[in-house]
Amino acid sequence: MDKITLWSFLLFLSGIQASRTAAQRNAEFAVDLYKAICFSHKNNIIFSPLGTTVLLGMVQLGAKGKAQQQILQTLRMQESSTGEEFSVLKSLFSAISKKKQEFTFNLASALYLQEGFIVKEAYLHGNKELFQSATKLVDFLDAKSCAEKISTWVEGKTDGKIKNMFSEEEFGPLTRLVLANAIYFKGDWKQKFRKEDTEMSDFSKKDGSTVKVPMMKALLRTKYGYFSESFMECQVLELPYKADEFSMVIILPTEDVSIEEVEKRITAHHIQRWFSELHEEEVEVSLPRFKTEQKLDFKEALYSLNVTEIFGGGCDLTGITESSEVYVSRVMQKVFLEINEDGSEAATSTGINIPAIMSLTQTQFRANHPFLFIMKHTQTESILFMGRVTDPDIQTVKGRDLDSL
């Protein structure tokens, strides 16, 4: 093997190893954040670990000392201010943008700072380069105008799907810096469900009561696995989207195992191992059609993960602005996701007809009780969305006001 070929091979291997390490960190942070959010939400949950990583990365870029260390530790990253740890995000955004004709993935992120403070040029450049995020000056004292301005910007960045990101009640005279992102995804399944096969069926909610929901049904050849561990038995199903760029992974506890038990015991190691051990087979799938929109303030969740310094006066954000009076008031995220026969959002194309359910199929996956879901980028295994469905009948989930600490 000549020197050039050997060097190229070593670079290739190092790239794979870096990707694996990044995927592991991403999964660990996703599970940590999921468990933190569970404490204050009883029903459906949806959030974006990727989006939250971007928000924390935006702060880290301008933070110093304890504020920066807490963020990097929570994200399982090395204590470095070079931004190299976040380069995988740039690569992911680049890969996604090259195939945008196959799907719509809009991640609108911005840092809003009170007018009167001066943002450093180096920060403006780094924030846009690493996170493709905007930095904007607003007047939080004019709360109504500020809320309208931010909500209009978000609506424009998400094809009009995410509206009313903020209300005037969320800003006040002490608001200094607000981080926000909104995430909207639209894509078609690689194998679509036939609408004529969807029928109203019982779904057993977490509290034991039942509700009638539209249950999509199809016989699919897809990746599947059954995993049995101490007090945690579950079926895992992966449904790929068109072009195989993204997939939805459904984690369904067996009927005698509560979703709370799985949530308590699940780890990043479990998730990564399940991803790698799924095998392709023919599965009779029943999955509820559902739509969910959720807005979260991550302050309480981040507090529980030991990200506290950025929320108090005296934190060092001098990489953003020289003023010592700047601290983070809110870390907000709003997500819109719809799962239906076509894919993640209503579409007009008919696609390939899927055969009707065959009763002789040996493997059945019936999501007729609470389950977890993960949407991931196939190549990097980055987790875009994570959440749970305890009641498909609930469409809008209101995030608890977490600004009371």
Assign residue 232 the CATH number of its domain: 2.30.39.10
Do 269 and 300 fall within a single domain? no
Clarify whether residues 281 and 300 are in a common domain: no
Percent of the chain with pLDDT over 70: 85
Average pLDDT over residues 18-31: 81
**Whether residue 333 is found in the same domain as residue 352:** no
Q: What is the mean pLDDT of residues 359-367?
A: 80
- Of the pLDDT bands very low, low, confident and very high (cuts 50, 70, 90), residue 161 is confident
pLDDT score recorded for residue 14: 41
Same-domain pairing of 230 and 264: yes
Decide if 207 is inside a domain. Answer: yes
Q: Judge whether residue 397 has pLDDT over 80.
A: no
Query: Based on the domain organization, do 333 and 364 belong to the same domain?
Result: no
257 and 173 in a common domain? no
User: Is the same domain home to 236 and 378?
Assistant: yes
Distances in Å between the Cα of 325 and the Cα atoms of 56, 172, 312 are 19, 15, 10
CATH of the domain at 103: 3.30.497.10
Asked if 280 and 223 count as a contact pair (C-beta separation under 8 A), the reply is yes
Quote the strand ranges of 98-209, DSSP E. Answer: 104-114, 134-138, 177-186, 199-204
In a domain, 283, yes or no: yes
In a domain, 273, yes or no: yes
**Quick check: 183 and 371 in contact, CB under 8 A?**
no
Asked if residue 12 belongs to a domain, the reply is no
Give the residue-averaged pLDDT of 279-305.
Answer: 93
Q: What ranges make up the beta strands (E) of 120-209?
A: 134-138, 177-186, 199-204
pLDDT at 5 over 50: no
- Residue 361 is predicted with a pLDDT of 55
Residue 405 predicted with pLDDT over 80? no
User: Is the residue at 10 inside a domain?
Assistant: no
**328-339, strands of its sheet edge to edge:** 134-138, 104-114, 177-186, 328-339, 290-297, 396-398
Bridge partners of 4, per DSSP, are none
377 — phi, psi (to 5°)? -85, 120
Give the global pTM.
0.87
Specify if 9 maps to a domain. no
What local confidence, expressed as pLDDT, does residue 89 receive? 78
Q: Which of 25, 46, 27 is nearest to 37 (CA)?
A: 46
Tell whether 59 is covered by a domain.
yes
Asked whether residue 163 falls in the same domain as residue 270, the answer is no
pLDDT in tens, 38-49: 878 888 999 999
Residue type, 113: L
Instruction: From 223, 224, 228, select the one nearest 265 (Cα to Cα).
Output: 228
SS (H, E, C) 34-48: HHHHHCCCCCCEEEC
Question: In which band, very low, low, confident or very high, does the pLDDT at 324 lie, cut at 50, 70 and 90?
Answer: confident
Beta strands in 22-165 (DSSP E): 45-47, 104-114, 134-138
CB 288 within 8 A of CB 391: no
Kindly state whether residues 155 and 214 are assigned to the same domain. Answer: no
The domain total for the chain is 2
117 vs 3: which has the higher pLDDT: 117
Phi and psi at residue 174, to the nearest 5°: -100, 0
Residue 11: is its pLDDT beyond 50? no
- The structure tokens 């991640």 sit at 107
Closest CA to 271 of 219, 229, 304: 229
**Domain assignment of residue 332, yes or no:** yes
- pLDDT exceeds cutoff 60 at 350: no
Answer whether 202's CB lies under 8 Å from 196's CB: no
pLDDT at 2 (0 to 100)? 46
Instruction: Among 318, 337, 356, give the residue marking a domain's end.
Output: 337
Look up residue 188 and give its DSSP letter. Answer: B
Q: Residue 77: its pLDDT value, please? A: 86
Contact 74, 29 (CB under 8 A): yes
199 and 241: one domain? yes
Element (H, E) at 280: strand 279-288
Residue 265 gets which letter from DSSP? Answer: H
Domain that holds residue 270: 195-289+346-398
Cβ-count burial of 68 within 10 angstroms (0-12 exposed, 13-18 middle, 19+ buried)?
buried
pLDDT tens per residue across span 57-75: 999 999 999 999 999 999 9
Q: Are both 240 and 316 inside the same structural domain? A: no
Residues 224 and 131 in one domain: no
pLDDT tens digits, 220-267: 999 999 999 877 899 999 999 988 889 999 999 999 999 999 999 999
10 DSSP assignment? H
Nearest-CA neighbor of 398 among 41, 36, 37?
41
